[in-house]
Amino acid sequence: MGGYDPRRCGIATFTHDLCEAVATALPTSLCYAGAVNDRPEGYAYPPRVRFEIAEKDADSYRRAADFLNFDNADVLCVQHEFGIYGGSAGSHLLALLKEVRMPVVTTLHTILRDPNSAQRQVMDELVHRSDRLVVMASKGAQILSEVYGAPSAKIDTIQHGIPDIPFADSEVSKAQFGVEGRPVLLTFGLLGPGKGIEHAIEAMPEIVKRHPGVVYLILGATHPHLVAREGESYRLGLERLAADRGVKDNVIFYDRFVSLEDLTEFISATDIYVTPYLNEAQITSGTLAYVFGAGKAVVSTPYWHAQELLGQDRGILVPFRDSKAIAQGVCAFLDDPVRMERTRREAYGLGRDMIWSSVADRYLESFQRARADRRTLSRTAFAGWTLASRPYVLPPLRLDHVVRMSDRTGIFQHARFNVPCFQEGYCTDDNARAFILCNLLDELGENPPSQDLDLLATSYLAFLSAAENPDSGRFRNFMGYDRKWLEEHGSEDSHGRALWALGVGARRTRNEGHRNLCEQLFDRALPALDSFTSPRAWAFCLLGLHEYLREFPRKEQAVGFRASLTNRLVELWKNSSDPEWPWFESSATYDNARLCQALILSGKAMPESGASEIALASLRWLASLQTTQAGHFRPIGSNGFCVRGGARADFDQQPVEAQAMVSACLTAFSVTKDASWSSQAKLAFEWFLGRNDLGVPLYDSKSGGCGDGLHVDRVSENQGAESTLAFHLALAEMKRADNLVEMPVRS
């Protein structure tokens, strides 16, 4: 399982070649593939592909697991690369691995020595849920053991497979390309900035000076994901560079994704292969394996795979980003044909163990070890398919109403039924929420094909930028439909929500322009916090500071405000609480769980403050206060709230309260690993879906909107921005948690 031809990526080619090689090595077996699609329409796959997975649809992975279980597959071989699976760091794959009941052999195409937190969580799960782990270099096995604690007995080192290309003189193949008699340098693969090709082009003037007839062939299409984001700007930049350096007659770009047959011809015509990659942490390079095994001289930067394959004078290694060294390495081969021929023959001899037939035999040995390590139970009955054994199924993402409520200015505040109210304009609060949602969904890989998250996020961020009043340093909140501000500055809460959104953007967005603007606006908005008196504004600001300081941990002003606001909330709690009322104020009003969530996160950074303990105790009390005897979630109603010594209001129940509870409880779970918190989060989320006092859903699955509240006798039929965003934010956080942990089942 992985990408598959005709999808154009290295993993797709590898999956195809491995599947064919295994099928050939064991002709009596049924060897088939599952393909991960990066576009809604999929591809025209060959018959070998028997199931497909939609990259960004977590449920699609579960359906694939069901297919494999029912089909009684003997072993599943997963090709893993973070970028080809949906979810944060490709975490959607875990939804499948949690469900399949056969042994799993995972081939790791990328092994990071310094993963971020999301990548680390995914890798830890992969190590745990795989029966065997395949790496293609000894360095990979070392990192797996040292960084991820994988048992060495669980790791198989199997080199990258290559086609069986005969050893031949390159001159025989050059004529068909019109370069006979000329030294040929080659770089091939999908083009992108990480390839470092600009440094090889910079080396060409020195190479041409010593060997005027040399030609550098850059073979391959620009990576389709890069084309989607930036067009062909990278390739055009390389072409301009070649012209500027006076070597345009010595550089050939062949903008094609070539077939294996055509690639073999290009390799045969090559004298020296050049890999000027920029990242040392590349553990595997299929292109390097291909040319090395074909017996070609290689000049390469010292990324991990190259160090291992080209060591002991089996090639020439040069420093990263060093054009002069590349030129010297290439000329060292061209100046000494005897050395180049000796290097070629040694490489070809070693490459015989890398041809696909040999690699397939090694994989079959790994499959047998996986089956021997885990004697699988019978999967022919439904005994294990009870509700208690199945993961919690979340509603599919549907942003129709969010889009309906938005224009190029921002998102409208209110709606009548499911129709936006133009006359009531916009507000900073809702645009901040909407901007956070876009970032969370993008991080999850949840981007519906008909809706452009980046375009929506740009509108919401532009609104926040316009909302900042440069004269006061505060954010204005309300804007009329005529785009005129209705105040000099908004509430402290709206300022806090804006800061929160900017912190999320500074940390999570992949859009560099968005990140830079978020950082700038955040820094300018911080000083206003000195005078704030609203505890909820403090909490919103702390949530933003938490995000911001994950990206900029040394910003002293931000560190100082986190400490100040945390201490204010802690002192507030100490002055107000008692054993019967462990709360921050004499009343529990709105967005209550955000106070707890902010202190849980701040307490991680400031353990000496006691903030986490206070927050967890308060959240536990709030959860008990908002859980009925029947076992469903009942948020404190806005029609009177809850005052110490008095009765709490049961209605009108607001979606933001359910969303806040979902967020706070998932945060508590992430810190404590206490499963009761994830259960409480699910309980609060199900309030949207009808597990509430009236037994009716507030979320409208047809429109993608959410009712504005639960009254004593009905759901509000108006689907405003605050409520709709509350549902979708809660759903996004549940999806993120579901990717990484097992959600408990309904009790």
CATH number at residue 624: 1.50.10.10
Bigger pLDDT: 2 or 266? 2
Calculate the dihedral angle through the C-alpha atoms of 281, 505, 85, 450, rounding to the nearest 10 degrees.
-140
With contact defined as beta carbons under 8 Å apart, do 680 and 623 qualify? Answer: yes
pLDDT, tens digit, for every residue of 679-705? 999 999 999 999 999 999 999 999 999
Both 364 and 263 in one domain: the answer is no
Mean pLDDT lowest among 106-110, 333-337, 498-502, 644-648: 644-648
Both 184 and 291 in one domain: the answer is yes
pLDDT band at 746 (very low <50, low <70, confident <90, very high): very low
Q: What is the mean pLDDT of the chain?
A: 92
So what's the pLDDT on residue 389? Answer: 54
Q: Tell me how many domains the chain contains.
A: 3
- CA angle centred on 722, ends 717 and 724, rounded to 5°: 60
Q: Residue 652: is the preceding peptide bond cis (ω within 30°)?
A: yes
Mean per-residue pLDDT, 455-469: 97
Mean per-residue pLDDT, 670-682: 94
Both 148 and 242 in one domain: the answer is no
- Measured CA to CA, the distance from residue 143 to residue 111 in angstroms comes to 7
Give how far Cα 597 sits from Cα of 377, 566, 593, 733, Å. 43, 11, 6, 14
Q: Give the 3-state secondary structure of residue 142.
A: helix
CATH classification at residue 278:
3.40.50.2000
So what's the pLDDT on residue 384? Answer: 55
Percentage of the chain beyond pLDDT 90 is 80
* pLDDT over threshold 80, residue 745: no
- Measured CA to CA, the distance from residue 476 to residue 429 in angstroms comes to 10
So what's the pLDDT on residue 391? Answer: 58
Both 219 and 124 in one domain: the answer is no
Both 565 and 652 in one domain: the answer is yes
* pLDDT over threshold 50, residue 378: no
Q: Which of 297, 330, 354 is the last residue of a domain?
A: 354
Both 290 and 383 in one domain: the answer is no
So what's the pLDDT on residue 70? Answer: 92
Distant-in-sequence contacts of 517-525, Cβ < 8 A, 24+ apart:
517/461, 517/465, 518/461, 519/552, 521/464, 521/465, 521/468, 522/548, 522/558, 523/555, 523/557, 524/468, 524/473, 525/468, 525/473, 525/474, 525/475, 525/495, 525/498, 525/499
Mean per-residue pLDDT, 92-115: 94
* pLDDT over threshold 70, residue 387: no
Bigger pLDDT: 145 or 452? 145
Q: What are phi and psi of 581, to 5 degrees?
A: -140, 75
**Lateral strand order in the sheet of 297-300:** 251-254, 215-219, 184-188, 272-275, 297-300, 316-317
Q: What is the DSSP letter of 257?
A: -
Examine residue 296 and state whether it is found in any structural domain, yes or no.
yes
Mean pLDDT lowest among 212-221, 493-502, 679-688: 212-221
* pLDDT over threshold 90, residue 250: yes
pLDDT band at 377 (very low <50, low <70, confident <90, very high): very low
Q: Residue 6: is the preceding peptide bond cis (ω within 30°)?
A: yes
So what's the pLDDT on residue 382? Answer: 47
Examine residue 432 and state whether it is found in any structural domain, yes or no.
yes
pLDDT, tens digit, for every residue of 564-611? 999 999 999 999 999 999 999 999 999 999 999 999 999 999 999 999
pTM of the model: 0.73
What the block records as the tokens of 24 is 């050939």
* pLDDT over threshold 70, residue 490: yes
User: Facing residues of 298 across strands?
Assistant: 273
* pLDDT over threshold 80, residue 489: yes
Mean pLDDT lowest among 312-316, 500-504, 652-656: 312-316
Both 237 and 266 in one domain: the answer is yes
Both 141 and 176 in one domain: the answer is no
pLDDT band at 663 (very low <50, low <70, confident <90, very high): very high
What range does the domain containing 413 cover?
Answer: 400-740
Bigger pLDDT: 339 or 188? 339
Mean per-residue pLDDT, 155-177: 90
Helices 10-25 & 356-373 angle (0-180, nearest 10): 80
Both 675 and 723 in one domain: the answer is yes
Both 274 and 331 in one domain: the answer is yes
With contact defined as beta carbons under 8 Å apart, do 670 and 682 qualify? Answer: no
Both 157 and 215 in one domain: the answer is no
So what's the pLDDT on residue 492? Answer: 97
What the block records as the tokens of 628 is 């009925």
pLDDT, tens digit, for every residue of 511-526? 999 999 999 999 999 9
Give how far Cα 617 sits from Cα of 215, 505, 598, 614, 668, Å. 71, 30, 13, 5, 11
Burial 668-694 (b: 16+ CB within 10 A, else e): bbbbeeeeebbbbbbbbbbbbeebbbe
- Measured CA to CA, the distance from residue 193 to residue 183 in angstroms comes to 26
So what's the pLDDT on residue 57? Answer: 86
- Measured CA to CA, the distance from residue 198 to residue 195 in angstroms comes to 8
Examine residue 502 and state whether it is found in any structural domain, yes or no.
yes
Examine residue 746 and state whether it is found in any structural domain, yes or no.
no
- Measured CA to CA, the distance from residue 456 to residue 433 in angstroms comes to 12
Q: How are the residues of the chain apportioned to helix, strand and coil, as percentages rounded to the nearest 5?
A: 50, 10, 35
Both 695 and 676 in one domain: the answer is yes
pLDDT, tens digit, for every residue of 429-443? 999 999 999 999 988
So what's the pLDDT on residue 743? Answer: 35
Q: What is the DSSP letter of 107?
A: E
What the block records as the tokens of 470 is 């440069």
- Measured CA to CA, the distance from residue 304 to residue 313 in angstroms comes to 16
Mean per-residue pLDDT, 305-328: 94
pLDDT, tens digit, for every residue of 392-442? 678 888 999 999 999 999 999 999 999 999 999 999 999 999 999 999 998
Mean per-residue pLDDT, 111-137: 93
